[in-house]
Structure 1
Amino acid sequence: MLARLLGSAFWIPAYIALIAGFVLPGDFSALKPLVPVLLGGILFCSSLKVSLGQVRAAFLEPGALPRLSALIVLKLLLLPLIPYAATLALAPEWAPGMLLVGMMPGGLSSLAFADLYGGERGLALLLLLGGSLICPLTAPAMLHLFGIGQHVPGQPSEAALFALQALYIVLLLGTPFTLAQVIRGVAPRLVERNLHRLSPAAIACLCPLITLSIACNRQA
Protein backbone atom coordinates (compact mmCIF):
# COMPACT_ATOMS: atom_id res chain seq x y z
CA MET A 1 0.00 0.00 0.00
CA LEU A 2 2.76 2.44 0.96
CA ALA A 3 4.66 1.61 -2.22
CA ARG A 4 1.58 2.46 -4.29
CA LEU A 5 1.01 5.73 -2.42
CA LEU A 6 4.60 6.69 -3.18
CA GLY A 7 4.25 5.48 -6.75
CA SER A 8 1.34 5.49 -9.17
CA ALA A 9 -1.08 6.80 -6.52
CA PHE A 10 1.23 9.62 -5.43
CA TRP A 11 -1.60 12.09 -6.05
CA ILE A 12 -3.34 10.89 -2.87
CA PRO A 13 -0.61 11.95 -0.40
CA ALA A 14 0.08 14.97 -2.62
CA TYR A 15 -3.50 16.22 -2.21
CA ILE A 16 -3.37 15.49 1.51
CA ALA A 17 -0.15 17.50 1.70
CA LEU A 18 -1.82 20.29 -0.27
CA ILE A 19 -4.75 20.47 2.14
CA ALA A 20 -2.41 20.26 5.12
CA GLY A 21 -0.53 23.29 3.88
CA PHE A 22 -3.71 25.35 4.12
CA VAL A 23 -5.23 24.00 7.33
CA LEU A 24 -2.34 23.20 9.67
CA PRO A 25 -2.26 25.86 12.39
CA GLY A 26 0.85 27.76 13.33
CA ASP A 27 3.65 29.75 11.76
CA PHE A 28 5.86 27.66 9.49
CA SER A 29 8.07 30.48 8.21
CA ALA A 30 11.05 29.17 10.18
CA LEU A 31 10.93 26.00 8.07
CA LYS A 32 11.18 27.86 4.76
CA PRO A 33 14.91 26.99 4.34
CA LEU A 34 13.84 23.34 4.07
CA VAL A 35 12.09 24.04 0.75
CA PRO A 36 15.28 24.03 -1.39
CA VAL A 37 16.55 21.05 0.61
CA LEU A 38 13.45 19.06 -0.29
CA LEU A 39 13.70 20.22 -3.90
CA GLY A 40 17.28 19.03 -3.95
CA GLY A 41 16.20 15.74 -2.41
CA ILE A 42 13.73 15.15 -5.23
CA LEU A 43 16.33 15.80 -7.89
CA PHE A 44 19.04 13.86 -6.05
CA CYS A 45 16.91 10.72 -5.82
CA SER A 46 15.85 11.05 -9.45
CA SER A 47 19.38 11.80 -10.67
CA LEU A 48 20.73 8.64 -9.08
CA LYS A 49 18.82 6.82 -11.81
CA VAL A 50 20.28 8.97 -14.61
CA SER A 51 23.87 8.64 -15.78
CA LEU A 52 25.89 11.23 -17.65
CA GLY A 53 25.93 8.76 -20.52
CA GLN A 54 22.14 8.80 -20.68
CA VAL A 55 22.07 12.59 -20.75
CA ARG A 56 24.73 12.68 -23.46
CA ALA A 57 22.91 10.03 -25.47
CA ALA A 58 19.64 11.95 -25.18
CA PHE A 59 21.35 15.10 -26.46
CA LEU A 60 23.21 13.38 -29.31
CA GLU A 61 20.26 11.29 -30.46
CA PRO A 62 19.28 12.17 -34.05
CA GLY A 63 16.59 14.81 -34.00
CA ALA A 64 17.01 15.46 -30.28
CA LEU A 65 18.06 19.10 -30.61
CA PRO A 66 15.09 20.16 -32.79
CA ARG A 67 12.73 18.25 -30.51
CA LEU A 68 14.26 19.80 -27.40
CA SER A 69 14.09 23.27 -28.94
CA ALA A 70 10.46 22.77 -29.94
CA LEU A 71 9.53 21.61 -26.44
CA ILE A 72 11.23 24.61 -24.84
CA VAL A 73 9.46 27.02 -27.20
CA LEU A 74 6.16 25.28 -26.50
CA LYS A 75 6.68 25.43 -22.73
CA LEU A 76 8.01 28.97 -22.43
CA LEU A 77 6.20 30.83 -25.21
CA LEU A 78 3.06 29.04 -26.36
CA LEU A 79 1.59 27.20 -23.37
CA PRO A 80 1.53 30.33 -21.16
CA LEU A 81 -0.87 31.93 -23.62
CA ILE A 82 -3.61 29.39 -22.85
CA PRO A 83 -4.11 30.17 -19.13
CA TYR A 84 -3.50 33.85 -19.86
CA ALA A 85 -6.27 33.99 -22.45
CA ALA A 86 -8.67 31.98 -20.29
CA THR A 87 -8.01 34.11 -17.21
CA LEU A 88 -8.21 37.33 -19.21
CA ALA A 89 -11.76 36.39 -20.16
CA LEU A 90 -12.85 35.28 -16.68
CA ALA A 91 -10.79 37.33 -14.21
CA PRO A 92 -8.66 39.95 -16.00
CA GLU A 93 -6.94 41.11 -12.82
CA TRP A 94 -5.42 37.65 -12.40
CA ALA A 95 -4.27 37.31 -16.01
CA PRO A 96 -0.78 38.85 -15.58
CA GLY A 97 -0.03 36.49 -12.72
CA MET A 98 -1.19 33.49 -14.71
CA LEU A 99 1.01 34.54 -17.62
CA LEU A 100 4.00 34.93 -15.31
CA VAL A 101 3.48 31.52 -13.73
CA GLY A 102 3.00 29.90 -17.12
CA MET A 103 6.28 31.31 -18.42
CA MET A 104 8.33 29.62 -15.72
CA PRO A 105 10.47 26.58 -16.63
CA GLY A 106 9.48 23.10 -15.54
CA GLY A 107 9.66 22.19 -11.87
CA LEU A 108 12.46 20.08 -10.42
CA SER A 109 9.95 17.32 -9.73
CA SER A 110 9.40 16.89 -13.48
CA LEU A 111 12.33 14.49 -13.63
CA ALA A 112 10.76 12.36 -10.91
CA PHE A 113 7.46 12.29 -12.80
CA ALA A 114 9.24 11.39 -16.04
CA ASP A 115 10.82 8.45 -14.25
CA LEU A 116 7.56 7.46 -12.56
CA TYR A 117 5.69 7.28 -15.86
CA GLY A 118 8.48 5.75 -17.93
CA GLY A 119 9.51 8.91 -19.77
CA GLU A 120 12.94 9.79 -21.10
CA ARG A 121 14.84 10.90 -18.03
CA GLY A 122 17.76 12.32 -19.99
CA LEU A 123 15.48 14.41 -22.19
CA ALA A 124 13.50 15.56 -19.15
CA LEU A 125 16.69 16.79 -17.48
CA LEU A 126 17.84 18.58 -20.64
CA LEU A 127 14.43 20.20 -21.02
CA LEU A 128 14.49 21.38 -17.41
CA LEU A 129 18.01 22.80 -17.68
CA GLY A 130 17.43 24.36 -21.11
CA GLY A 131 14.21 26.00 -20.02
CA SER A 132 15.82 27.35 -16.86
CA LEU A 133 18.66 28.94 -18.85
CA ILE A 134 16.45 30.48 -21.53
CA CYS A 135 13.63 31.69 -19.27
CA PRO A 136 15.48 34.91 -18.25
CA LEU A 137 15.38 35.92 -21.92
CA THR A 138 11.86 34.87 -22.84
CA ALA A 139 9.96 35.96 -19.72
CA PRO A 140 10.90 39.68 -19.79
CA ALA A 141 10.24 39.75 -23.54
CA MET A 142 6.78 38.23 -23.05
CA LEU A 143 5.95 40.64 -20.23
CA HIS A 144 7.04 43.57 -22.40
CA LEU A 145 5.03 42.25 -25.34
CA PHE A 146 1.85 42.19 -23.26
CA GLY A 147 2.62 45.49 -21.56
CA ILE A 148 2.86 43.94 -18.11
CA GLY A 149 5.07 45.46 -15.45
CA GLN A 150 7.10 48.63 -15.46
CA HIS A 151 10.71 49.06 -14.48
CA VAL A 152 11.14 51.20 -11.38
CA PRO A 153 14.31 53.32 -11.44
CA GLY A 154 16.81 52.11 -8.90
CA GLN A 155 15.32 48.62 -8.84
CA PRO A 156 16.74 45.57 -10.66
CA SER A 157 15.29 45.01 -14.12
CA GLU A 158 13.04 42.07 -14.89
CA ALA A 159 15.88 40.47 -16.86
CA ALA A 160 18.25 40.76 -13.89
CA LEU A 161 15.70 39.28 -11.51
CA PHE A 162 14.98 36.40 -13.86
CA ALA A 163 18.71 35.85 -14.37
CA LEU A 164 19.23 35.53 -10.63
CA GLN A 165 16.33 33.11 -10.43
CA ALA A 166 17.76 31.09 -13.31
CA LEU A 167 21.14 30.95 -11.57
CA TYR A 168 19.41 29.72 -8.42
CA ILE A 169 17.62 27.01 -10.40
CA VAL A 170 20.82 25.95 -12.16
CA LEU A 171 22.62 25.65 -8.83
CA LEU A 172 19.66 23.76 -7.42
CA LEU A 173 19.89 21.44 -10.42
CA GLY A 174 23.64 21.11 -10.57
CA THR A 175 24.36 20.42 -6.91
CA PRO A 176 22.17 17.32 -6.38
CA PHE A 177 22.86 16.02 -9.89
CA THR A 178 26.63 16.30 -9.39
CA LEU A 179 26.40 14.66 -5.98
CA ALA A 180 24.30 11.87 -7.44
CA GLN A 181 26.83 11.25 -10.21
CA VAL A 182 29.67 11.13 -7.67
CA ILE A 183 27.79 8.52 -5.65
CA ARG A 184 27.00 6.56 -8.82
CA GLY A 185 30.71 6.48 -9.58
CA VAL A 186 31.86 5.66 -6.05
CA ALA A 187 29.18 3.15 -5.05
CA PRO A 188 27.49 1.79 -8.19
CA ARG A 189 26.43 -1.46 -6.53
CA LEU A 190 24.77 0.39 -3.67
CA VAL A 191 22.84 2.52 -6.15
CA GLU A 192 21.86 -0.53 -8.18
CA ARG A 193 20.54 -2.36 -5.13
CA ASN A 194 18.37 0.58 -4.14
CA LEU A 195 17.06 1.70 -7.52
CA HIS A 196 13.54 0.58 -6.62
CA ARG A 197 13.57 2.86 -3.57
CA LEU A 198 14.61 6.04 -5.37
CA SER A 199 11.31 7.04 -6.98
CA PRO A 200 9.35 6.56 -3.72
CA ALA A 201 12.02 8.58 -1.93
CA ALA A 202 11.55 11.42 -4.43
CA ILE A 203 7.79 11.39 -3.86
CA ALA A 204 8.41 11.28 -0.11
CA CYS A 205 10.33 14.55 -0.50
CA LEU A 206 7.62 16.03 -2.71
CA CYS A 207 4.78 15.72 -0.19
CA PRO A 208 6.34 17.75 2.66
CA LEU A 209 7.58 20.18 0.01
CA ILE A 210 3.98 20.84 -1.05
CA THR A 211 2.89 21.38 2.54
CA LEU A 212 5.77 23.69 3.42
CA SER A 213 5.55 25.67 0.18
CA ILE A 214 1.99 26.61 1.07
CA ALA A 215 2.25 26.85 4.85
CA CYS A 216 5.36 29.04 4.74
CA ASN A 217 3.82 31.56 2.35
CA ARG A 218 0.17 31.74 3.35
CA GLN A 219 -1.27 34.81 4.96
CA ALA A 220 -1.53 34.61 8.74
Structure 2
Amino acid sequence: MKFLASLSGLVGRTFAYWVVLFAVLGFILPDIFKQIVPYIVPLLAIIMFGMGLTIKGQDFVEVLRRPVEVGIGVVSQFLIMPLLAVALTTIIPMSPEVAAGVILVGCCPGGTSSNVMAYLSKGDIALSVACTSVTTLLAPFVTPFLVYLLASQYLPVDAMAMFISIIKMVLAPLALGYALQKVMPKAVAAAVPALPLVSVIGIVLIVSAVVAVSKGAIASSGLMIFAVVVLHNGCGYLLGYFASRAFGLSLAKRKAISIEVGMQNSGLGAALANAHFSPVAAVPSAIFSVWHNISGALIANYYAGKTDEEEPARLGTRSA
Protein backbone atom coordinates (compact mmCIF):
# COMPACT_ATOMS: atom_id res chain seq x y z
CA MET A 1 0.00 0.00 0.00
CA LYS A 2 2.94 2.36 0.67
CA PHE A 3 4.18 1.80 -2.88
CA LEU A 4 0.70 2.55 -4.27
CA ALA A 5 0.46 5.71 -2.16
CA SER A 6 3.91 6.85 -3.34
CA LEU A 7 3.02 6.13 -6.96
CA SER A 8 -0.27 7.97 -6.55
CA GLY A 9 1.50 10.97 -5.07
CA LEU A 10 4.04 11.02 -7.90
CA VAL A 11 1.35 10.78 -10.58
CA GLY A 12 -0.67 13.49 -8.84
CA ARG A 13 2.32 15.85 -8.78
CA THR A 14 3.00 15.25 -12.48
CA PHE A 15 -0.68 15.42 -13.48
CA ALA A 16 -0.19 18.07 -16.18
CA TYR A 17 2.43 15.97 -17.98
CA TRP A 18 0.16 12.93 -18.09
CA VAL A 19 -2.74 14.95 -19.44
CA VAL A 20 -0.55 16.39 -22.21
CA LEU A 21 0.89 12.97 -23.04
CA PHE A 22 -2.49 11.28 -23.35
CA ALA A 23 -3.96 14.19 -25.30
CA VAL A 24 -1.15 13.71 -27.83
CA LEU A 25 -1.68 9.94 -27.87
CA GLY A 26 -5.40 10.44 -28.43
CA PHE A 27 -4.60 12.63 -31.44
CA ILE A 28 -1.99 10.24 -32.88
CA LEU A 29 -3.88 7.00 -32.17
CA PRO A 30 -7.55 8.00 -32.42
CA ASP A 31 -8.86 4.52 -33.27
CA ILE A 32 -7.58 3.16 -29.97
CA PHE A 33 -8.82 5.97 -27.73
CA LYS A 34 -12.21 6.37 -29.46
CA GLN A 35 -13.17 3.14 -27.74
CA ILE A 36 -13.15 4.97 -24.39
CA VAL A 37 -15.94 7.39 -25.43
CA PRO A 38 -18.82 5.21 -24.09
CA TYR A 39 -17.08 5.17 -20.70
CA ILE A 40 -16.66 8.94 -20.27
CA VAL A 41 -19.67 9.27 -17.95
CA PRO A 42 -18.69 6.29 -15.72
CA LEU A 43 -15.13 7.60 -15.55
CA LEU A 44 -16.34 11.00 -14.34
CA ALA A 45 -18.64 9.29 -11.81
CA ILE A 46 -15.63 7.38 -10.44
CA ILE A 47 -13.68 10.65 -10.10
CA MET A 48 -16.56 12.29 -8.24
CA PHE A 49 -16.96 9.20 -6.04
CA GLY A 50 -13.32 9.67 -5.06
CA MET A 51 -14.01 13.30 -4.23
CA GLY A 52 -16.91 12.15 -2.05
CA LEU A 53 -14.51 9.92 -0.12
CA THR A 54 -12.44 12.96 0.81
CA ILE A 55 -15.18 15.50 1.64
CA LYS A 56 -15.28 16.33 5.33
CA GLY A 57 -17.97 17.89 7.46
CA GLN A 58 -15.42 20.61 8.24
CA ASP A 59 -15.66 21.75 4.61
CA PHE A 60 -19.28 22.75 5.20
CA VAL A 61 -18.59 24.13 8.67
CA GLU A 62 -16.23 26.50 6.87
CA VAL A 63 -19.17 27.72 4.77
CA LEU A 64 -21.15 28.52 7.90
CA ARG A 65 -18.15 30.05 9.64
CA ARG A 66 -17.42 32.56 6.87
CA PRO A 67 -20.34 32.64 4.44
CA VAL A 68 -19.38 36.01 2.91
CA GLU A 69 -15.95 34.84 1.75
CA VAL A 70 -17.30 31.56 0.38
CA GLY A 71 -20.17 33.48 -1.23
CA ILE A 72 -17.70 35.79 -2.99
CA GLY A 73 -15.87 32.76 -4.37
CA VAL A 74 -19.02 30.92 -5.46
CA VAL A 75 -20.67 33.95 -7.09
CA SER A 76 -17.40 34.86 -8.81
CA GLN A 77 -17.12 31.32 -10.16
CA PHE A 78 -20.62 31.25 -11.62
CA LEU A 79 -20.57 34.85 -12.85
CA ILE A 80 -17.08 35.57 -14.16
CA MET A 81 -16.39 32.40 -16.16
CA PRO A 82 -19.78 32.18 -17.94
CA LEU A 83 -19.69 35.88 -18.89
CA LEU A 84 -16.09 35.60 -20.07
CA ALA A 85 -17.13 32.64 -22.23
CA VAL A 86 -19.96 34.63 -23.79
CA ALA A 87 -17.63 37.56 -24.47
CA LEU A 88 -15.05 35.32 -26.14
CA THR A 89 -17.64 33.55 -28.32
CA THR A 90 -18.96 36.95 -29.38
CA ILE A 91 -15.57 38.45 -30.22
CA ILE A 92 -13.85 35.42 -31.79
CA PRO A 93 -15.52 33.67 -34.77
CA MET A 94 -16.13 29.97 -34.08
CA SER A 95 -18.57 27.23 -34.99
CA PRO A 96 -21.79 26.85 -32.96
CA GLU A 97 -20.51 23.55 -31.50
CA VAL A 98 -17.26 25.10 -30.26
CA ALA A 99 -19.09 28.20 -28.95
CA ALA A 100 -21.52 26.04 -26.98
CA GLY A 101 -18.58 24.02 -25.64
CA VAL A 102 -16.73 27.15 -24.50
CA ILE A 103 -19.83 28.41 -22.70
CA LEU A 104 -20.46 24.99 -21.17
CA VAL A 105 -17.00 24.72 -19.62
CA GLY A 106 -17.41 28.29 -18.37
CA CYS A 107 -20.62 27.31 -16.58
CA CYS A 108 -19.07 24.31 -14.80
CA PRO A 109 -18.15 24.36 -11.09
CA GLY A 110 -14.60 24.71 -9.82
CA GLY A 111 -12.23 21.81 -10.37
CA THR A 112 -10.65 19.86 -7.52
CA SER A 113 -7.20 20.64 -8.94
CA SER A 114 -7.75 24.18 -7.69
CA ASN A 115 -7.41 22.93 -4.11
CA VAL A 116 -3.96 21.54 -4.84
CA MET A 117 -2.93 24.76 -6.58
CA ALA A 118 -4.26 26.83 -3.65
CA TYR A 119 -2.01 24.79 -1.36
CA LEU A 120 1.01 25.28 -3.63
CA SER A 121 0.30 29.02 -3.87
CA LYS A 122 0.23 29.36 -0.05
CA GLY A 123 -3.36 30.47 -0.38
CA ASP A 124 -6.35 29.82 1.88
CA ILE A 125 -6.84 26.08 1.34
CA ALA A 126 -9.95 25.79 3.52
CA LEU A 127 -11.63 28.56 1.52
CA SER A 128 -10.68 26.88 -1.76
CA VAL A 129 -12.07 23.51 -0.65
CA ALA A 130 -15.27 25.11 0.64
CA CYS A 131 -15.82 26.97 -2.65
CA THR A 132 -15.19 23.83 -4.71
CA SER A 133 -17.59 21.82 -2.55
CA VAL A 134 -20.37 24.42 -2.73
CA THR A 135 -20.07 25.04 -6.49
CA THR A 136 -20.04 21.28 -7.10
CA LEU A 137 -23.21 20.79 -5.05
CA LEU A 138 -24.89 23.72 -6.82
CA ALA A 139 -23.82 22.52 -10.28
CA PRO A 140 -26.95 20.41 -11.03
CA PHE A 141 -29.08 23.52 -10.65
CA VAL A 142 -26.82 26.37 -11.76
CA THR A 143 -24.93 24.81 -14.69
CA PRO A 144 -27.97 23.71 -16.76
CA PHE A 145 -29.69 27.05 -16.13
CA LEU A 146 -26.66 29.06 -17.23
CA VAL A 147 -26.03 26.86 -20.28
CA TYR A 148 -29.68 27.18 -21.30
CA LEU A 149 -29.58 30.95 -20.79
CA LEU A 150 -26.27 31.57 -22.57
CA ALA A 151 -25.77 28.77 -25.11
CA SER A 152 -29.26 28.19 -26.54
CA GLN A 153 -28.46 30.61 -29.37
CA TYR A 154 -25.85 28.15 -30.64
CA LEU A 155 -27.35 24.70 -30.01
CA PRO A 156 -30.59 23.31 -28.53
CA VAL A 157 -30.19 22.91 -24.75
CA ASP A 158 -32.27 20.44 -22.75
CA ALA A 159 -31.72 21.85 -19.26
CA MET A 160 -33.72 19.11 -17.52
CA ALA A 161 -31.75 16.33 -19.22
CA MET A 162 -28.53 18.10 -18.26
CA PHE A 163 -29.76 18.44 -14.67
CA ILE A 164 -30.42 14.69 -14.50
CA SER A 165 -27.01 13.94 -16.02
CA ILE A 166 -25.21 16.04 -13.40
CA ILE A 167 -27.17 14.35 -10.63
CA LYS A 168 -26.02 10.96 -11.97
CA MET A 169 -22.44 11.99 -12.72
CA VAL A 170 -21.77 14.28 -9.77
CA LEU A 171 -24.19 14.33 -6.84
CA ALA A 172 -25.00 10.62 -6.62
CA PRO A 173 -21.32 9.49 -6.67
CA LEU A 174 -20.39 12.28 -4.23
CA ALA A 175 -23.14 11.23 -1.83
CA LEU A 176 -22.17 7.56 -2.13
CA GLY A 177 -18.53 8.35 -1.40
CA TYR A 178 -19.43 10.53 1.57
CA ALA A 179 -21.76 7.86 2.96
CA LEU A 180 -19.06 5.21 2.61
CA GLN A 181 -16.79 7.34 4.80
CA LYS A 182 -19.31 6.96 7.61
CA VAL A 183 -19.94 3.26 7.09
CA MET A 184 -16.34 2.11 6.49
CA PRO A 185 -14.05 4.86 7.83
CA LYS A 186 -10.95 2.68 8.21
CA ALA A 187 -11.19 1.21 4.71
CA VAL A 188 -11.76 4.65 3.22
CA ALA A 189 -8.82 6.13 5.13
CA ALA A 190 -6.61 3.35 3.78
CA ALA A 191 -7.82 3.95 0.21
CA VAL A 192 -7.56 7.78 0.19
CA PRO A 193 -3.80 7.93 -0.58
CA ALA A 194 -4.48 6.10 -3.87
CA LEU A 195 -7.21 8.50 -5.00
CA PRO A 196 -4.95 10.92 -6.91
CA LEU A 197 -3.92 8.01 -9.14
CA VAL A 198 -7.56 7.12 -9.81
CA SER A 199 -8.43 10.76 -10.59
CA VAL A 200 -5.49 11.21 -12.95
CA ILE A 201 -6.30 8.00 -14.82
CA GLY A 202 -9.94 9.07 -15.16
CA ILE A 203 -9.15 12.56 -16.43
CA VAL A 204 -6.44 11.50 -18.90
CA LEU A 205 -8.72 8.84 -20.37
CA ILE A 206 -11.58 11.33 -20.75
CA VAL A 207 -9.26 13.87 -22.42
CA SER A 208 -7.70 11.28 -24.75
CA ALA A 209 -11.15 10.02 -25.79
CA VAL A 210 -12.45 13.51 -26.57
CA VAL A 211 -9.29 14.37 -28.52
CA ALA A 212 -9.47 11.10 -30.47
CA VAL A 213 -13.09 11.49 -31.51
CA SER A 214 -12.57 15.17 -32.41
CA LYS A 215 -9.24 14.87 -34.24
CA GLY A 216 -10.60 16.55 -37.38
CA ALA A 217 -11.97 19.56 -35.53
CA ILE A 218 -8.74 19.93 -33.56
CA ALA A 219 -6.65 19.72 -36.72
CA SER A 220 -8.68 22.50 -38.36
CA SER A 221 -9.48 24.74 -35.37
CA GLY A 222 -7.21 23.55 -32.57
CA LEU A 223 -5.06 26.69 -32.40
CA MET A 224 -8.10 28.95 -32.24
CA ILE A 225 -9.71 26.86 -29.51
CA PHE A 226 -6.43 26.77 -27.59
CA ALA A 227 -6.19 30.58 -27.78
CA VAL A 228 -9.77 30.91 -26.51
CA VAL A 229 -9.07 28.51 -23.63
CA VAL A 230 -5.88 30.36 -22.63
CA LEU A 231 -7.72 33.70 -22.64
CA HIS A 232 -10.69 32.26 -20.74
CA ASN A 233 -8.50 30.66 -18.09
CA GLY A 234 -6.10 33.60 -17.73
CA CYS A 235 -8.84 36.23 -17.50
CA GLY A 236 -10.57 34.02 -14.93
CA TYR A 237 -7.48 34.14 -12.69
CA LEU A 238 -7.20 37.92 -13.09
CA LEU A 239 -10.87 38.76 -12.54
CA GLY A 240 -11.14 36.30 -9.65
CA TYR A 241 -8.22 38.07 -8.00
CA PHE A 242 -9.65 41.53 -8.62
CA ALA A 243 -13.15 40.53 -7.46
CA SER A 244 -11.86 39.24 -4.13
CA ARG A 245 -9.57 42.26 -3.80
CA ALA A 246 -12.54 44.59 -4.35
CA PHE A 247 -14.17 43.06 -1.26
CA GLY A 248 -11.03 43.65 0.82
CA LEU A 249 -10.02 40.01 1.27
CA SER A 250 -6.50 39.14 2.40
CA LEU A 251 -3.88 38.02 -0.11
CA ALA A 252 -4.19 34.34 0.90
CA LYS A 253 -7.93 34.48 0.20
CA ARG A 254 -7.38 36.33 -3.10
CA LYS A 255 -4.98 33.62 -4.21
CA ALA A 256 -7.53 30.91 -3.40
CA ILE A 257 -10.43 32.63 -5.16
CA SER A 258 -8.32 33.62 -8.16
CA ILE A 259 -7.28 30.00 -8.71
CA GLU A 260 -10.76 28.71 -7.90
CA VAL A 261 -12.36 30.92 -10.53
CA GLY A 262 -9.78 30.19 -13.23
CA MET A 263 -9.82 26.40 -12.89
CA GLN A 264 -12.96 24.56 -14.02
CA ASN A 265 -14.27 21.01 -13.63
CA SER A 266 -13.40 20.41 -17.28
CA GLY A 267 -14.01 16.68 -16.94
CA LEU A 268 -17.65 17.45 -16.23
CA GLY A 269 -17.70 19.86 -19.17
CA ALA A 270 -16.34 17.21 -21.52
CA ALA A 271 -18.81 14.59 -20.31
CA LEU A 272 -21.81 16.93 -20.60
CA ALA A 273 -20.76 18.22 -24.03
CA ASN A 274 -20.28 14.70 -25.37
CA ALA A 275 -23.61 13.56 -23.93
CA HIS A 276 -25.78 16.57 -24.82
CA PHE A 277 -24.09 18.38 -27.71
CA SER A 278 -21.38 16.73 -29.81
CA PRO A 279 -17.78 15.51 -29.52
CA VAL A 280 -16.66 18.78 -31.12
CA ALA A 281 -18.36 20.73 -28.32
CA ALA A 282 -16.28 18.70 -25.84
CA VAL A 283 -12.98 19.90 -27.34
CA PRO A 284 -12.81 23.19 -25.36
CA SER A 285 -13.22 21.21 -22.13
CA ALA A 286 -10.54 18.72 -23.16
CA ILE A 287 -8.08 21.48 -24.03
CA PHE A 288 -9.05 23.35 -20.85
CA SER A 289 -8.19 20.22 -18.85
CA VAL A 290 -4.72 20.17 -20.36
CA TRP A 291 -4.04 23.88 -20.11
CA HIS A 292 -5.45 24.80 -16.70
CA ASN A 293 -3.25 22.25 -14.96
CA ILE A 294 -0.19 23.82 -16.59
CA SER A 295 -1.28 27.42 -15.98
CA GLY A 296 -2.47 26.55 -12.47
CA ALA A 297 0.96 25.24 -11.53
CA LEU A 298 2.60 28.34 -13.02
CA ILE A 299 0.38 30.85 -11.23
CA ALA A 300 0.58 28.88 -7.97
CA ASN A 301 4.38 29.07 -8.16
CA TYR A 302 4.14 32.82 -8.87
CA TYR A 303 1.72 33.44 -6.02
CA ALA A 304 3.77 31.35 -3.57
CA GLY A 305 6.55 33.93 -3.58
CA LYS A 306 4.19 36.81 -2.77
CA THR A 307 3.23 38.14 0.66
CA ASP A 308 0.73 40.73 1.85
CA GLU A 309 3.54 43.28 1.74
CA GLU A 310 4.45 42.38 -1.85
CA GLU A 311 1.41 42.04 -4.10
CA PRO A 312 1.76 40.40 -7.50
CA ALA A 313 2.95 42.87 -10.10
CA ARG A 314 0.15 43.87 -12.48
CA LEU A 315 -2.37 41.90 -10.41
CA GLY A 316 -2.59 44.95 -8.20
CA THR A 317 0.06 47.58 -7.78
CA ARG A 318 -0.52 48.21 -4.08
CA SER A 319 -1.95 46.16 -1.26
CA ALA A 320 -5.61 46.91 -0.70
Give the alignment's TM-score, normalised by structure 1: 0.74
- Residue 136 of structure 2 corresponds to which residue in structure 1? 128
Please tell me whether the aligned partners of residues 15 and 200 of structure 2 are also in contact (alpha carbons under 8 angstroms): yes
- Residue 109 of structure 2 corresponds to which residue in structure 1? 106
Q: Is 1:197 aligned to 2:200, yes or no?
A: no
Decide whether aligned partners of structure 1 residues 93 and 210 sit closer, same or farther in structure 2, where only a CA change above 3 A counts: closer
Per-residue Cα deviation, 1:128-186 (whole angstroms, up to 9, x for no partner):
22133112333333357xxx348xxxxxx63xx12321221122112222221232122
Q: Is 1:180 aligned to 2:188, yes or no?
A: no
Task: Give, in angstroms, the shift of residue 17 of structure 1.
Answer: 1.1
Per-residue Cα deviation, 1:36-65 (whole angstroms, up to 9, x for no partner):
1211121122221113x2343133223x2x
Distance 1:136 1:149 in 2: 15
Distance 2:215 2:148 in 1: 27
Distance 1:98 1:172 in 2: 18
Task: Give, in angstroms, the shift of residue 71 of structure 1.
Answer: 3.2
Structure 1: runs of 5+ lacking an equivalent: 151-156
Distance 1:5 1:24 in 2: 26
**Which has the larger helix fraction?**
2
Q: Name the % identity.
A: 18
- Residue 59 of structure 1 corresponds to which residue in structure 2? 63
**Secondary structure of 1:106 counterpart:** coil
Task: Give, in angstroms, the shift of residue 11 of structure 1.
Answer: 0.4
Task: Give, in angstroms, the shift of residue 201 of structure 1.
Answer: 2.4
Q: Match of 1:191, as an amino acid?
A: V
Distance 2:163 2:170 in 1: 10
Please tell me whether the aligned partners of residues 39 and 205 of structure 1 are also in contact (alpha carbons under 8 angstroms): yes
Please tell me whether the aligned partners of residues 8 and 196 of structure 2 are also in contact (alpha carbons under 8 angstroms): no
Structure 2: runs of 5+ lacking an equivalent: 1-5, 120-124, 218-320
Residues paired across the two proteins, number = 203
Q: Match of 1:60, as an amino acid?
A: L
Distance 1:116 1:184 in 2: 25
- Aligned CA RMSD, in angstroms, stands at 3.1
Decide whether aligned partners of structure 1 residues 166 and 199 sit closer, same or farther in structure 2, where only a CA change above 3 A counts: same
Structure with bigger RCO (C-alpha 8 Å, 6+ apart)? 1
Match of 2:36 among 10, 31, 35: 31
- Residue 153 of structure 1 corresponds to which residue in structure 2? none
**Secondary structure of 1:7 counterpart:** helix
Please tell me whether the aligned partners of residues 132 and 170 of structure 1 are also in contact (alpha carbons under 8 angstroms): yes
Task: Give, in angstroms, the shift of residue 219 of structure 1.
Answer: 4.6
Please tell me whether the aligned partners of residues 109 and 132 of structure 2 are also in contact (alpha carbons under 8 angstroms): no
Decide whether aligned partners of structure 1 residues 93 and 50 sit closer, same or farther in structure 2, where only a CA change above 3 A counts: closer
Q: Match of 2:163, as an amino acid?
A: A
